[in-house]
Amino acid sequence: DIQVTQSPSSLSASVGDRVTITCQASQDISNHLNWYQQKPGKAPKLLIYDASDLEAGVPSRFSGSGSGTDFTLTISSLQPEDLATYYCQVYDNLLSLTFGGGTKLEI
Amino acid sequence: QIQLLQSGPEVKRPGASVKVSCKTSGFPFSNYGISWVRQAPGQGLEWMGWISAYNGDTDYIQKFQGRVTMTTDTSTNTVYMELRSLRPDDTATYYCARGAWEFQMPTTFDYWGQGVLVTVSS
């Protein structure tokens, strides 16, 4: 099964900062990676799909990049409402699917 | 609008079974796959498997094979997830999530239910 390593596990930043979260897959997954935001007590919300495509309605300060095994979620200018835990989620050609361990973002 | 509305919280004894529901609306139910994802308190997300609402096919991760059953009721656009032989470490919030693309295995989840807390305790 595919494994994914997400880092950092927690992050403290200030409003206006540029924030980067990374995920590394255990094998080449092309662009089969999605990013989700989960606010406390809420269900996850899709932010980025296929590594770099912004889900409709998601602010443009969120962006994703990468392919193969290394991927990045960037928040260009952190806002107070971005307080959340962020998860990457990968899948391979055998349709094995797994989530990263999460990054708790504190502001 | 698209909604996935899940049933209420459950408290179960070890060894019991639980069946949670996910009633959908706002989209052509039979065109999509639905996954179940769970989250233990304070922990990360764990994908459990999925069911196709268009043909009933299922796929469960090995960890849950033999203990989980996912079903659909196309008359009410509802998906069910039953987990048997519950253990305390099954205590978690269980989410249903819709696959983003029609007629495909749900590999990307665009709409989620609100979650159901299942507590397993003696």
Handedness of CA B98, B17, B69, B25 (dihedral sign): negative
Write out pLDDT tens, residues B46-90. Answer: 999 999 998 899 999 999 999 999 999 999 999 999 999 999 999
Of the partner residues B47, B110, B114, the one whose CB lies closest to the CB of residue A97: B47
Chains A, B: CB contacts within 8 A come to 50
**A99–B46 CB contact, under 8 Å:** yes
Q: Which of B122, B120, B121, B100 is nearest to B38 (CA)?
A: B120
Q: Under a CB-based contact definition with an 8 Å cutoff, are residues A87 and A36 in contact? A: yes
**A49–B108 CB contact, under 8 Å:** yes
Write out pLDDT tens, residues A7-66. Answer: 999 999 999 999 999 999 999 999 999 999 999 999 999 999 999 999 999 999 999 999
Residues from A in contact with B at Cβ < 8 Å: 32, 34, 36, 38, 43-46, 49-50, 55, 87, 89, 91, 95, 97-102
